[in-house]
């Protein structure tokens, strides 16, 4: 895996998502909680708690339909219970 890892936080700005999709060619991105990008470049720091994975296609669909991360997070979590 390359370092630093390109991750998505559980709450992201649309501008950041667009930048990542333009710059990175990955098909999917880890979704993490408790992630601080300011200190994540140090080798001794983790990238937060893994919450799952989101694909490039899912991100594009979410952006297309202007779905908010929180709405998706809640619907996914409650539908799994």
Q: What CATH number should be reported for the domain holding residue 17?
A: 3.10.580
Q: Which of helix, strand or coil describes residue 7?
A: coil
Residue 2 within a domain: no
Residue 61 within a domain: yes
Residue 16 within a domain: yes
Of 69 and 25, which is predicted with more confidence? 25
pLDDT of residue 79: 43
Per the structure, the complete domain to which residue 14 belongs is given by 8-80
pLDDT at 54 over 90: yes
Of the pLDDT bands very low, low, confident and very high (cuts 50, 70, 90), residue 40 is low
Residue 76 within a domain: yes
* This prediction's pTM: 0.68
Number of domains in the chain: 1
| Alpha-carbon torsion (65, 66, 68, 71), positive or negative | negative
């Amino acid at each position: 895996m390359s370092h630093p890892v390109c991750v998505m936080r559980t709450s992201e700005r649309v501008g950041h998502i667009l930048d990542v999709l333009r710059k990175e060619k990955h098909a999917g991105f880890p979704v993490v909680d408790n992630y601080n990008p300011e200190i994540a470049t140090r080798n001794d720091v983790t990238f937060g708690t893994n919450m799952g994975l989101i694909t490039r296609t899912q991100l594009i669909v979410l952006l297309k339909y202007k779905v908010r991360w929180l709405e998706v997070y809640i619907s996914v979590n409650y539908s799994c219970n």
